[in-house]
Structure 1
């Protein structure tokens, strides 16, 4: 999985887990592990996938800059409340 990097701390730009943690510091990293372990994998187009668990979604890609490599695109809570 790609750790990634934060390319702009002011605007919270970047990619991978580093970007997600920078943009959402309140995110419980154990929750990401739970979503991956317990969630349902949905294939969107053989490159992009979603893992859904309870009210959470993790977006995945099986390619990174044209190379086969799995990484998290995004992680979010479907409905806040």
Structure 2
């Protein structure tokens, strides 16, 4: 299966590969931002802990949504 994914990536044009890398970069950005918001002790915005956790979970859920879209796009 991994060989199939790597072959599909190699068949993509330069523009498609750039967009794939950009998609992975933004996935990681949303994931890390969500984790920072949840676990950062001195958060610069004045938010209570339940709202920070909810916002962080929403960002992590959005990051996983983007990840599954990248995976599905890579398989086609």
- TM value normalised by structure 1: 0.26
Higher helix share: 2
User: Which protein is bigger by CA-based radius of gyration?
Assistant: 2
Query: Which of the pair has the greater relative contact order for Cα pairs under 8 Å at 6+ separation?
Result: 2
Task: Looking at secondary structure, tell me which structure has more strand per residue.
Answer: 1
